[in-house]
Amino acid sequence: MEEAWLVPLGKGDCEKAWDLFLSSHRGLILATVRRYLQDYDDVMDVFARVCERLRDDRLARLRRYTDKPQESHTARFSTWLVAVLRNLILDWFRQRDGRKQLSNAARALPPRQRHIYESVFLDGRSHVEAYELLTSRGEHTLTFGQFLKELTATYRIVSAGRRGFLAVELAGPVAIEPEALAEQDSTAPEYFDDSPALLEAFHTLPPDEQLAVQFFVIEELPAAEVARLVGWPNAKAVYNRVTRALVALRGQLEAQGIHRQDL
Amino acid sequence: MTEEEHLDDDVQPMAQWVRTQAALRQDAASGCLDEEALAAFVSGAGAGRAEALAHLTACARCRHAVAMLSRLVTDERIVSEVRLARGAAWPRRVRWTVGVAAAAAIAVLLLRPSRTDDLVLPGSELREPPITVVGGPALIAPRGRVAAVTILTWSHVPRAARYRLRLYDSVGTAVWENETTDTTVTVASAIPLASGATYFWRVEAKTGRNRWVASELAQFTLAHSGP
């Protein structure tokens, strides 16, 4: 790690370390904040808060990384810093200004979508938690597929403004077409929710294929990015192996009497 | 064509099923990846990778965090800022915690007359790559007040595979973008540059995978034409 600010930090001069850190990383912090927000006032507001958190307690957050023995680091400092910034930005929105920032969109939502918005976007609950919360509050007939459809609609309304990346962050993966859902709702609704046979088949795939399917199909990451993350050579490998994995899944299901027309 | 449309049509229903399974959107009860573990996975670091991969298949929260972090660190502007931050860093091979004797020994290694990339410190395969400051292109013309603009010219950048030019109007709206392997580009006749108007332009040079170095922003103003 080659950072000038480590020298004063090592000598206990946190002020000097902070000045040096900020002078070399201001652009990275701002670029990360701007990935989430475009409004100038929002950007500067979040930038100030993020800096405050990084500077807290004599740069405790930064020292969490630098105090570790160099040989124990498994990530580049810049990647680690972006991961920290991501968490700080999300915390800031969720804990303080999140409700205020997004409440205009939320106010226009129907009750069910508003509940989803509050659970998922603001409280950071998983999709399954939010779904279970809804069903526990009386929405007994709601399937998970229908919940995802409502989540998608909520996401589209909230992300219609200029905070698209933030909305993707807060909503989680919502890659689902309401039209496709509507079509499947009428033909095979039981498959929207957990089917043990299907899930069992999924878990027979090698872990890297499971993850590639999840990244590519659910998270909608570009194939080249999926390849890099799972350690495959290129995007073509992702197309081929994900296709083969899905075919294998279908084959296992057919062997259990669940036929192609059902899926 | 979207990425997913590369999949065969007959596996699309299976993809749709995968997408709608609650069990594949469950969070793990424990063992979630901290910031360094997430960053390590996104960086492709080998240590703890198998465990991280196994956790990610079972934890929607961590999987989403990896996906979003991956989107962030491959974002063009963030990549550019990471490169600038590295350029601004003070080149050191050792941390302050390394003792004087160790530092001296490493200095001897650094000063020996051999290729600098021979030096592989323990764990350095996981460190930032050596700093190589490559300046952005210098914008040559047009600049300032000009009568007409047909060609934009900038300086060569060592190891640049190609250049990306962006032209902005006076309010910062991009009006033209072009990529070329040359250091000049002819302004397309389809780009209407208004006389009397001020424009800004910038050139980025691609010097490696996901590595771009940007020029400063230059300005030119087209002189009024006609009587």
> pLDDT for A192-230, tens place per residue?
445 677 788 888 999 999 999 999 999 999 999 999 999
Query: Which residues from B are below 8 Å from A82, CB to CB?
Result: 39, 69, 72-73, 78
Please give the pLDDT value at position A100.
55
What DSSP line would sit under A50-107, residue for residue? HHHHHHHHHHHHHHHHHTS-GGG--S-HHHHHHHHHHHHHHHHIIIIIHHHHHHHHHH
**Mean pLDDT for chain B?**
76
Residue in A194, A198, A219 nearest the CB of B67: A219
Of A127, A235, A137, A226, give the one whose Cα is nearest residue A175.
A127
Give the C-alpha separation, A147 to A214, whole Å. 19
Distance CA B91, CA A90 (A): 33
More confident residue, B171 or B99: B171
- Smallest Cβ–Cβ distance between A219 and the set B22, B64, B74 belongs to B64
Q: What is residue B2's predicted lDDT score, i.e. its pLDDT? A: 59
Q: Please tell me whether residue B206 adopts helix, strand or coil conformation.
A: strand
Is the predicted ipTM greater than 0.90, yes or no? Answer: no
The whole-number pLDDT of residue B74 equals 93
Among B68, B69, B106, B120, the residue to mutate for chain A (most A Cβ within 10 A): B68
CB atoms A2 and B90 under 8 Å: yes
% pLDDT > 90, chain B: 20
- Among B41, B84, B95, select the one facing A70 at the smallest CB separation: B95
CA distance to A25, A129, B28, B131, B161, per residue, from B153 (Å): 31, 57, 55, 28, 16
Nearest to B213 by CA among B61, B106, B87: B87
Strands laid side by side in the B151-154 sheet? B139-141, B151-154, B184-186
pLDDT tier at A262 (50, 70, 90 boundaries)? low
Residue type at position A63: R
Q: What is the pLDDT of residue A105?
A: 67
- pLDDT tier for residue B70 given thresholds of 50, 70 and 90: very high
Residue type, A13: D
Closest CA to B28 of B64, B67, B59, B66: B59
Beta bridge partners of B214: B204
Using omega within 30 degrees of 0 as the cis cutoff, is the peptide bond preceding B91 cis? no
The confidence score (pLDDT) of residue B117 equals: 29
Q: Strands, E, within chain A: which ranges?
A: none
Count of C-beta atoms within a 10 Å radius of residue A97: 15
Choose between A54 and A252: higher pLDDT: A54
HSE value, Cβ hemisphere, 13 Å, CA-based, for B71: 17
Q: Which has more pLDDT, B221 or B188?
A: B221
What is chain B's length?
A: 227
Cβ contact B36–A65 (<8 Å) = yes
Least confident of A119-133, A170-184, B29-43, B92-106: B92-106
pLDDT recorded at residue B53: 94
Name the band, by pLDDT with cuts 50, 70 and 90, for residue A40.
confident
B39:A3 CB<8 A: no
Residue A244 pLDDT: 94
Q: Is B133 exposed, middle or buried (0-12, 13-18, 19+ CB in 10 A)?
A: exposed
Provide, as residue numbers in chain B, all residues whose Cβ is less than 8 Å from the Cβ of A230.
Answer: 53
When scoring A32, A61, A216, A217 by the number of chain B Cβ atoms within 10 A, the one with the most, hence best to mutate, is A217
pTM surpassing 0.80? no
The partner residues of B152 in beta bridges, in order of sequence, read B185
Q: What's the burial of B181, exposed, middle or buried (CB within 10 Å: 0-12/13-18/19+)?
A: exposed
Q: Band of the pLDDT at B97, cuts 50, 70, 90?
A: very low
CA pair distance A62, A8, nearest whole angstrom: 13
Which contiguous run of DSSP H or E holds residue B207?
A: strand B198-208
Distance from CA of B173 to the nearest CA of A (A): 14
What is residue A261's predicted lDDT score, i.e. its pLDDT?
A: 56
**pLDDT for residue B10:** 82
Q: Which residue has the higher pLDDT, B95 or A36?
A: A36
Residue B190 is predicted with a pLDDT of 73
CA distance A156 to A67: 43
Mean pLDDT computed over B130-138: 62
Strand partners, B166: B177, B202
Percent of chain A with pLDDT over 90: 42
